[in-house]
Every structure is written in C-alpha cells, then in structure tokens.
C-alpha cells in the first residue's frame, strides 16, 4: 500500500467513524474500501474489527457521566453480546460473507421504513415502561445481532440502535450511547478470536484504530450537542442512503454471477 493510499484510507476512516457514532454501519463503508485497496477479505474484516474496538471506546467516552447510558441493563446485555460475538467471529472462518450485504441492506430498509412510520420513537423521552415481552425480545435481538456483529459488523449497531428505541423505548441519544458501550465488548471479543487466527494486520489496524478512536470522540461529542430530533434525521438519512447503495451493489453482484 502506497503512502497516498494510506492517507486516503485514514481520511475515509476518520469521516466514517465520526458519522457512524450516530448512525452505525461503519463496516459497510470501511470494509468495502479496504477490499478496494487490495486487502484480503478476512484480513480486512479482522483488521476493521480491531479499529472498531478503538472507535467504540472513543465513541463511548463523551457519554460517560452524562446520564444517557443504560447502566441497569448493561451487565446482561454485555454477557449476551460477548457470547454472540464470539460465535459470530468463529463463523467468519467457515462461512463466506458475500450474501451478508444483501441481507443487511434489506434489514436496514425495513428499519428505515418502520422508523419513519414511528416518527416519535426515540425523539421524546417516554415514561411508559416497556412490556416484559418487549424486554425479552430486546435481549433476543441483542443476541442475534451480536452474532452478526462478530461476523461482519456492517449495520450491526444501526439495527441494534433501532431495536433499543423500539423495544426498550430509549431516546436516540440513549440508544446511541448504550450501543456504543456494548460495541466495545462485541468488537473486542471478535478481535481476540481473530488474533488467535493470525489474520489481523496490526500495523494497519493500529493506524486506523487510532484514527477511529479520535473520530469516535468527535462523533460522540457531536451527538451530545444535537437534539434527538436531529439525531433521528441524520440516522434515517444515512441509513436509507447506505441501504440503497448496499442493496444496489448486492443486486449487481448477483446479476454478474
């Protein structure tokens, strides 16, 4: 990789990390870019996961002490996420990821449609406690999405944010803060699995990880300065755009095959 390519990669990762603190879907941008730069798929996934771990730490820091992280649910959510992420990371070693962009793009389109249909969800704080069934489904969603998060991660936090808004009845800023905290453990557990398999490019991972750590801090700070309404608008706009682009690429890839 040339110096110019590395600088371009750093710039893309910085911008993506700032935006994705709010929207998620970092890997839908970063992994395809890494592949375009000639990085082997499994190495790209593993190295990206290392960088995501540092981004999640940076993205979480601005929220600590602000009263927006759901500490009451965190212990169980973290345990569920750790187990699921390890399973997902192991799947990378045996299952091709070509079909995943199509699945996740369709899922994000569904999320965008449902979010638009429920425009008040996540915008204003609600006092009504979620039902027991909704709570259970939220933990089930955490597990299922955690497997995907350890496998590829693209769209993982996007879908998890939507799940927490709809099922836990969090505001956008609460969901963003809580999922960023959880993603530290998701990305870290997957990274540890990849480390044992020797598929991480540590030099590139350290550079991109530091870049995304800084981007995460910037993105988290911006999130705290915006209202839930603006967070919703940014979230829906970026998610809809990424879903359309990913779906289009997936369909074109299937046609060429």
DSSP states along the chain: --HHHHHHHHHHHHHHHHHHHHH--HHHHHHHHHHHTT--HHHHHHHHHHHHHHHHHHHHGGGTTTT-S-TTTHHHHHHHHHHHHHHHHHHHTTS--TTHHHHHHHHHHHHHHHHHHTTTTTTS---SPPPHHHHHHHHHHHHHHHHHHHHT-TTHHHHHHHHHHHHS---HHHHHHHHHHHHHHHHHHHHHHHHHHT---HHHHHHHHHHHHHHHHHHHHHHHHS-HHHHHHHHHHHHHHHHHHHHHHHHHHHHH-
What is the tens place of the pLDDT at every residue in 164-189?
A: 998 999 999 999 999 999 999 999 99
pLDDT tens column, 15-65: 999 999 998 878 888 988 898 888 988 899 899 999 999 999 999 999 999
What mean pLDDT, rounded, does the chain reach? 86
pLDDT at 135 over 80: yes
Work out the pLDDT band at 125, boundaries 50, 70, 90: low
**What pLDDT, on the 0 to 100 scale, is given for residue 255?**
66
């Amino acid at each position: 990789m040339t110096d110019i390519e590395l600088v371009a990669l750093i710039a893309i990762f910085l911008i993506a990390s700032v935006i994705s603190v709010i929207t998620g879907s970092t890997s839908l941008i970063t992994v395809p870019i890494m592949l375009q730069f000639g990085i082997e798929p499994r190495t790209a996934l593993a190295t990206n996961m290392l960088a995501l771990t540092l981004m999640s730490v940076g993205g979480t820091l601005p929220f600590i002490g602000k009263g927006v992280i759901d500490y009451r649910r965190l212990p169980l959510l973290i345990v569920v996420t750790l187990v699921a992420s390890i399973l997902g990371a192991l799947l990378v070693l045996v299952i091709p990821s070509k079909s995943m962009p199509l699945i996740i793009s369709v899922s994000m389109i569904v999320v965008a449609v449902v979010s638009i249909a429920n425009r008040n969800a996540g915008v204003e704080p609600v006092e009504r406690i979620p039902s027991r069934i909704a709570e259970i489904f939220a933990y089930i969603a955490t597990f299922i999405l955690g497997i995907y998060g350890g496998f590829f991660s693209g769209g993982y936090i996007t879908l998890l944010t939507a799940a927490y808004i709809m099922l836990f009845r969090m505001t956008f800023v609460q969901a963003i803060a809580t999922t960023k905290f959880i993603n530290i453990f998701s990305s870290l557990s997957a990274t540890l699995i990849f480390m044992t398999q020797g598929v991480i490019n540590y030099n590139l991972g350290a550079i991109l990880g530091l870049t995304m750590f800084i981007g995460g801090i910037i993105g988290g700070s911006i999130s705290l300065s915006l209202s839930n309404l603006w967070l919703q608008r940014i979230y829906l706009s970026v998610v809809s755009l990424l879903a359309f682009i990913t779906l289009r690429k997936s369909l074109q890839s299937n046609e060429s095959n």
